Structure 1
């Protein structure tokens, strides 16, 4: 007759010794698959994905029906802005249009979005600023930017160049918004052909 404790007499030691082999098996499988690591100093920044913003925006200038600008952002350490993503989208509904978006990682490690579009200011605000009302304005490089800011959410700035609307948004600090808005305001449209 085998000895087995009644369930009412099980304690935390029994639970620990029951789960220990399962945890060990999970760690071995995760280690083999290289899907986890341990760092005593906490999390570390991973590699920023490579993205050629110049090539992407040059292509967009040929394909889109509105002017596209390539802002001249600092690309030398320690003030390096690193492009990491890009996309196209279409805003549907009243005042909608096509968008060209490029994302950047600032020198402080925060994400900033640059979206250029033939959609109206209201349509851009509805899609990217969650329909918030304007909360102020800023002037950079002779362009007035309407600010959409709300406590607890990322601010968005939108300006109208006449033939194109530009939105910047992100988790960057005031310096990041100043740098990006000034660079966009100083940039000339890329050639269409």
Structure 2
């Protein structure tokens, strides 16, 4: 007992040796399990997981108070998300696609009025920037001065509104909105 150092004399060297011993013991226990890996470099893109948007949209069309449309996916696009959300505190149908060029577009359908839908889709304010014509319908493009707020393309389809946002080219936005506009509403519930 007389040979032990008093605690006041234990220094940084002793602490570094103790931590080093803990790291070595941890590695000796974890590495043989195979539950860890070391992959230096950039992460690899895995395959896009496809969802069954057709079944989801058909089920939602039966319960929503507005017509739901499921556009045909353009060639090379993969439907990777489908969920129920809300716009201005009312139920909405949301479907997302990964485009052939690796972009992402998200379609939200709601029964809210056009102005309420634009204001209620998220907390980010946007202003009407311009309108264009797609498949005979007037499409409003709402933008923000904030760099991290995505543009919102909106079309009034009578009893429902379609809102499109995401990271894609103008051509991809136009292609998807044209498919939405020309799609027939899915059968509603009784």
Question: TM-score band, normalised by the shorter chain?
Answer: 0.7 to 0.9
Aligned to 2:142: 148
* Structure 1 position 10, deviation (Å): 4.2
TM-score where L is the length of structure 2: 0.78
The secondary structure found in structure 1 opposite 2:127 is coil
Aligned to 1:187: 183
Aligned to 2:92: 99
Gaps in structure 1 of 5+ consecutive residues: none
Aligned mate of 1:116, from 105, 109, 116: 109
Describe the superposition over 1:86-121 as per-residue Cα deviations: whole angstroms up to 9, x where unpaired.
Answer: 2213344xxx63211111111222321111110122
Q: CA RMSD in A?
A: 3.1
The secondary structure found in structure 1 opposite 2:128 is coil
Aligned mate of 2:130, from 113, 126, 136: 136
TM-score where L is the length of structure 1: 0.77
* Structure 1 position 60, deviation (Å): 1.4
Asked if structure 2 preserves the Cα contact closer than 8 Å seen for 1:90 and 1:99, the reply is yes
* Structure 1 position 46, deviation (Å): 2.6
Aligned to 1:175: 171
Structure exhibiting the larger radius of gyration computed from Cα positions = 2
Gaps in structure 2 of 5+ consecutive residues: none
The secondary structure found in structure 2 opposite 1:147 is strand
CA distance in 2, matches of 1:106, 1:159: 21
Asked if structure 2 preserves the Cα contact closer than 8 Å seen for 1:120 and 1:165, the reply is yes
